[in-house]
Amino acid sequence: MIRQLRTRVFILAFTLLPFTGLIDIHGQSLDDYLVEAAENNPEVKAYFNEYMSALEKIPQAGALPDPQLAFGFFIKPMELPMGDQRAEISLMQMFPWFGTTGARSDEASQMALARYEAFRDAKNRLFREVKTAWYDLYELEKEIEIVEENIGLLRKLEEITLTRFGASSSGLQPVSGSSMRMPANTGGMQTGMPDVLRVKMEINETENMLENLKELRQPYRARFNGHLNRPLEEEVALPDTVVVSDKPFKAGINESILNNNPAVRMQDEKVSVYELRRRTAVLEGRPSFGIGLNYMVFSSSSANNASMNGGNMLMPMVTVTIPVFRQKYRAMEREAALMRESAAYRKENMINELSVEVAAARRELSDAERRLKLYSDQSELAEKTLNIMITSYSTGKEDFGEVLRVSRQLLDFRLGLLRSAADHERVIAKLEMLTATGMEKFESAGQGNTLRQE
């Protein structure tokens, strides 16, 4: 039933008039704009660069310390049994405890995954903002169409009132500006003059509404273009019609949040990061050792008759650092454990908040669907009623005030139907953001897919 209703609603709401505004049916679609936004938006680019910088930390974390090379030269040779020592060269390479470099690399990799999810979350939130701005702009253009159509209807009513009371033959002309020419002798038309003036007031009020709507075009367009990081005054291609989404957001929505929402997954990655950091802290508290060589240069001594007189010496060396002061390492472990617990709490709180938002959005979705049905039925009834009343008024059987009242109702119902449909799509966009639904086809936008493979 809902699907049939949605089809009927959009036939009524979005085909009221041929669209003559900012329309290019061969132009960019909403999906095209989403890709453009993901590739050009500065905030998404910033998150992208943060992810790239996190990737560069992986080789840094897994690298060994730089070797230490030392050279010493004796200004006055040191006399030793092997001769006079002239110089000494030593080379030392330190190694952390077994598994430490791997643990550091794992932690850096996990942090990069967290930054990747932050990048996806920024893109996910951007998509919601772009969709909302796009539907706002689309709704505005259709509102302008509906109001223009209503003004046309009021002008027809004006002609009917003038025709009914013989205004044209008496010198009274239909209203086309801000003033009205009155005949010198109105005769029996005085009883019909209030109807003419009332429809004129209605036209003025509706034209003012139309101008207010047109003034909103530029700020709406600027907000949309700002998300795409392009000139704020650039035109936006909109389609003739938009089909109301028929996506189910019923069962399993909380599981979708847990599995798909990038913000939740980022907290998951952070939990893993701090768990790995605790493991790294344990390994950092283990001894590290070094292996090296010491090469000593000697010259022959005239006072030394030993067989090794003047012979150079090569001495292997091993060194060990003993982490005696354990308080520092225990504090590192406690810090990592507390940060892990903090990330877990943040994840739990985020899931609760997202679940509340989903519940509220589902209620808004149900409300929009109810309003879609209500305003669809009301629009049809008001249109039929107005046609009958206009016919009756032309024959003198209907009060003109009632005709105007129903024409206002028809305008309100049509605008309400349009806004309900737009609200429905905005809520769908919000639910898609909360559940990260539909992001798969845009995964490569902003180079996200390429980065993930790296």
d(C-alpha 240, C-alpha 263), whole Å: 35
**Domain for residue 15, yes or no?**
yes
Whose structure tokens read 């429905």? 424
Confidence of residue 39 (pLDDT cuts 50, 70, 90): very high
Most confident of 13-17, 240-244, 309-313, 400-404: 400-404
Output the domain CATH number for residue 202: 1.20.1600.10
d(C-alpha 434, C-alpha 128), whole Å: 9
**Domain for residue 351, yes or no?**
yes
**pLDDT exceeds cutoff 60 at 176:** no
* Mean pLDDT within 98-109: 95
Pick the more confident residue, 420 or 448.
420
Pick the more confident residue, 305 or 397.
397
**pLDDT exceeds cutoff 80 at 4:** no
d(C-alpha 109, C-alpha 87), whole Å: 45
* Mean pLDDT within 42-57: 96
Helix then strand then coil, in percent of the chain rounded to 5, is 65, 10, 25
d(C-alpha 82, C-alpha 349), whole Å: 73
**pLDDT exceeds cutoff 70 at 59:** yes
Confidence of residue 138 (pLDDT cuts 50, 70, 90): very high
What is the model's pLDDT at position 166?
Answer: 66
d(C-alpha 261, C-alpha 256), whole Å: 7
**pLDDT exceeds cutoff 70 at 177:** no
How many CB atoms are located within 10 Å of the residue 420 CB? 22
What is the model's pLDDT at position 17?
Answer: 31
Confidence of residue 178 (pLDDT cuts 50, 70, 90): very low
> What six digits make up the tokens of 149?
């159509």
Alpha-carbon separation of residue 45 from 37, 108, 134, 349, 399 (angstroms): 10, 21, 21, 28, 63
What is the greatest pairwise CA distance in the chain? 149
pLDDT digits (tens, 9 = 90+) for 64-81: 999 999 998 888 887 777
Query: CB-based contacts of 224: which residues, under 8 Å, 6+ apart?
Result: 130, 133, 134, 136, 137, 236
**pLDDT exceeds cutoff 50 at 449:** no
Number of domains, the chain = 1
pLDDT digits (tens, 9 = 90+) for 287-298: 999 999 999 888
**Domain for residue 453, yes or no?**
no
H-run or E-run covering 208: helix 193-215
What is the model's pLDDT at position 393?
Answer: 86
Q: Which of 1-15, 235-249, 439-453 has the lowest mean pLDDT?
A: 1-15
Q: Which residues of 129-166 are buried (b: 16+ CB within 10 A; e: fewer)?
A: bbbbbbbebbbbbbbbbbbbebbebbeebbebbbebbe
**Domain for residue 278, yes or no?**
yes
d(C-alpha 37, C-alpha 48), whole Å: 13
Q: Which of 8-12, 100-104, 307-311 has the lowest mean pLDDT?
A: 8-12
**Domain for residue 407, yes or no?**
yes
**pLDDT exceeds cutoff 50 at 183:** no
Contact 159, 199 (CB under 8 A): no
**Domain for residue 84, yes or no?**
no
Q: Which of 79-93, 172-186, 300-314, 322-336 has the lowest mean pLDDT?
A: 172-186
**DSSP secondary structure string for all residues of 268-333:** HHHHHHHHHHHHHHHHHTS-EEEEEEEEEEEE--TT---TTTT--EEEEEEEEE----THHHHHHH
Question: Can you give the residue range of the structural domain that contains 406?
Answer: 2-67+110-287+333-448
What is the model's pLDDT at position 234?
Answer: 93
How many CB atoms are located within 10 Å of the residue 318 CB? 9
**Domain for residue 310, yes or no?**
no
* ∠ Cα 102 106 107 (to 5°): 120
Contact 350, 264 (CB under 8 A): yes
Percent of the chain past pLDDT 70, that is, above it, reads 81
**Domain for residue 322, yes or no?**
no
What is the model's pLDDT at position 63?
Answer: 93
